[in-house]
A = this chain, B = another copy of it.
Amino acid sequence: MGLSERKEREKAELKELILDAAKRILLKNGKEGLSIRKIAHAIEYSPATIYLYFPDKDAILHELMEIGFGLMSKYLVPAFAEQDPVQRIHSIGKAYAKFGMENKDWYDLMFNSEKPMKHIEKCAEEWDQGMAMFNFLTASCKQAIDLLGLKGIDERILALHFWSTVHGLVNLAHSDRLEIIERNQTRQLIDRTLEAAMASIFRT
């Protein structure tokens, strides 16, 4: 009746093959250049076969998104380990921006893709890695608030303020808007703005 273990393993293997090819194509050709047909060609199967392993293209993008969070954590782990909460938040911001700048397509997938998500419950589950990240930032903000004795500041709003700023910077950089403000200074603009944000938020 049910699939044998070998069968299931083989099924999982082809699924992995598809994701691997998708990953390669994403890196080489960008988000726009990633197509079902190119994936199929890369793994030498027909396009229709892809649909035996994934319901649609969005499902593939979704799984890529989860892989992307794995890549991002490599940037973030050292920042997470920082002792001083204020310094930690600054490091998180820098690492986040660095990841965003060096992995445009991944970043887009993870933070700018609109999900059809009719069922937000499920989505909250599926974006749990992003959520965990935000929760960690929020906890760090709480620590920083306590440490500095800041009164009347909601750590969730603070975390969102910080996230929005860095997310905004990365997106402005990706759409070349920072180049328009000051040519060839994108990296410096991001660093300086991040520092200014830290200074104003934590009143150093």
Residues of A within 8 A of B (CB): 111-115, 117, 120, 123-124, 127, 130-131, 134, 153-154, 156-158, 160-161, 163-169, 171-172, 174-183, 189, 192-193, 196-197, 200-201, 203
Contacts and interface: CB of A to CB of B under 8 A. Distances in A.
B134 A181 contact: yes
Do most interface residues of chain A lie in helix, strand or loop, or is the interface mixed? helix
Given A197-B161, A200-B201, A171 B174 contact: no
Contacts of A117: 176
B196 A154 contact: yes
B177 A111 contact: yes
Contact of A164 (B158, B164, B179, B183): B164
Contacts of A180: 120, 123-124, 127, 130-131
Contacts of A169: 160, 164, 168
A193 B120 contact: no
Given A112-B171, A168-B167, A171-B168, A161 B196 contact: yes
A28 to B, nearest CB: 18
Nearest to A160: B193
A130 B196 CA distance: 23
Contact of A157 (B112, B158, B161, B192): B192
A200 B200 CA distance: 5
Contacts of A201: 200
B175 A164 contact: no
Shortest beta-carbon contacts, A-B, top 5 = A168-B168, A164-B168, A167-B168, A164-B169, A165-B165
A109 B189 CA distance: 23
A203 B112 CA distance: 32
